[in-house]
Amino acid sequence: MSTTERLKGIAMFVGVANAGSFTAAAERLNLSNSAVSKGIARLEGRLGTRLFERTTRRLALTEAGASYYSVCTRVLADLEEAETELDAQRAEPSGNLRIDLPTSYGRLHVMPLILAFVEGYPNLRAHLSFTDRFVDLLEERIDLSVRIGGADAWPAALNHCCLGTERVTRCASPAYLEKRGRPQTIEDLAEHACVLYGKADGSSSPWFFADGAGKTQSRPIPGRIVVGNAEALVSAVMAGSGIAQFATWLVKEQLRNGELVEVLPDLATDGLPLYLAWPRSRETLPKVHRLIERLSAALTID
């Protein structure tokens, strides 16, 4: 079967599903009732499954039909968007733009850049999602993602660029250090209240320290409080609850204005790399290409 015939079958199937009957679909598609009925029968025969439940009163999608409908509507939407881009031959970004961001880094550092980017293009509609898991960009139809931490092997269908590496250190509030003193060694941390970052699986993140050879070592640290949100962790430490480990991008302002103080600064070390990632199939679209340029030029994690 040719690609043209396959697309005809998809368009007819979606038309029938949207219309709710062969008769209504035939009117919308400017075809006869018989042509639509035979077209759906041929499609069901080719797929080897029933797509519709037919009764005298109603036409409804089967479970397989509903699944196929979801895929077909995405295919047609992609075709429509591609044709719009080509027909308009616009140099400026337009259409829907889906972006996935890490929760705290995205809110603090990326969202202001995206808001300014969207403001400059009135025909652009942005959908931002925030999650700390690694989303499947292809499956979830994401145009561009910011990731902290990369993949061991990037899928061939994705492109990416590295924006640098975060720095990891420990911080406490001036009030806490005045009350409890400043630790001088890693071993001194055992005498302090340590506030840990809690993972979704119930465990807590280890702490990372630079050793004398310039390498990074990790150590489990006993904690008095475990907090499962990075910005809430900052709030807890600013309130004097103890010492916590942070990526410096998270506490840059607090360190600058003195609300937090670095502890054991000589043991600060590199953390995870920061990446932009996007589907190769979408990188030539103006909306994606321009945003990659904007973010790669503006984002830093010092």
Say if residue 154 is in the same domain as residue 174.
Answer: no
Higher-confidence position of 57 and 164: 164
pLDDT in tens, 179-205: 999 999 999 999 999 999 998 787 888
Say if residue 197 is in the same domain as residue 249.
Answer: yes
Residue ending a domain, choose from 66, 87, 108: 87
SS (H, E, C) 256-277: HHCCCEEECHHHCEEEEEEEEE
Say if residue 177 is in the same domain as residue 252.
Answer: yes
How far apart CA 210 and CA 264 sit, in angstroms, is 10
Say if residue 184 is in the same domain as residue 253.
Answer: yes
Q: What pLDDT, on a 0 to 100 scale, did the predictor assign at position 81?
A: 74
Contact 288, 144 (CB under 8 A): yes
Instruction: Name the H helices within the chain.
Output: 3-19, 22-29, 33-47, 63-88, 103-105, 111-119, 174-180, 230-238, 248-257, 286-298
Say if residue 158 is in the same domain as residue 280.
Answer: yes
Look at the chain and report how many structural domains it folds into: 3
CATH of the domain at 223: 3.40.190.290
Say if residue 170 is in the same domain as residue 260.
Answer: yes
How far apart CA 193 and CA 154 sit, in angstroms, is 40
Q: What pLDDT, on a 0 to 100 scale, did the predictor assign at position 87?
A: 56
Say if residue 171 is in the same domain as residue 125.
Answer: no
DSSP state, residue 98? E
C-alpha distances in Å from residue 28, one per residue of 10, 69, 123: 15, 18, 29
Q: Considering only CA atoms, which of 53, 92, 69, 88 is closest in space to residue 18?
A: 69
Confidence class for position 10, pLDDT limits 50, 70, 90: confident
Domain that holds residue 47: 3-87
How far apart CA 41 and CA 297 sit, in angstroms, is 54
Say yes or no to pLDDT of 133 above 90. no
Please report, as a single letter, which amino acid is at residue 99. I
Q: Which residue has the tokens 């797509």?
A: 51
C-alpha distances in Å from residue 59, one per residue of 23, 79, 281: 11, 27, 37
Contact 132, 103 (CB under 8 A): yes
Q: How many CB atoms lie within 10 A of CB 210?
A: 17
Say if residue 25 is in the same domain as residue 38.
Answer: yes
CATH of the domain at 53: 1.10.10.10
pLDDT in tens, 29-42: 888 988 998 999 99
Mean pLDDT of the chain: 89
Say if residue 182 is in the same domain as residue 241.
Answer: yes
Say if residue 196 is in the same domain as residue 207.
Answer: yes
Q: What pLDDT, on a 0 to 100 scale, did the predictor assign at position 91?
A: 66
Q: Give the residue-averaged pLDDT of 49-66.
A: 86
Q: Which residue has the tokens 């969202």?
A: 111
Say yes or no to pLDDT of 4 above 60. yes
How far apart CA 236 and CA 225 sit, in angstroms, is 9
Q: What pLDDT, on a 0 to 100 scale, did the predictor assign at position 29?
A: 85
Q: What pLDDT, on a 0 to 100 scale, did the predictor assign at position 1?
A: 59
Say yes or no to pLDDT of 2 above 70. no
Confidence class for position 90, pLDDT limits 50, 70, 90: low
pLDDT in tens, 98-132: 999 999 999 999 999 999 999 999 999 999 999 98
CATH of the domain at 123: 3.40.190.10
∠ CA 296-301-302, rounded to 5°: 125
pLDDT in tens, 224-239: 899 999 999 999 999 9
Residue ending a domain, choose from 47, 63, 87: 87
Confidence class for position 244, pLDDT limits 50, 70, 90: very high
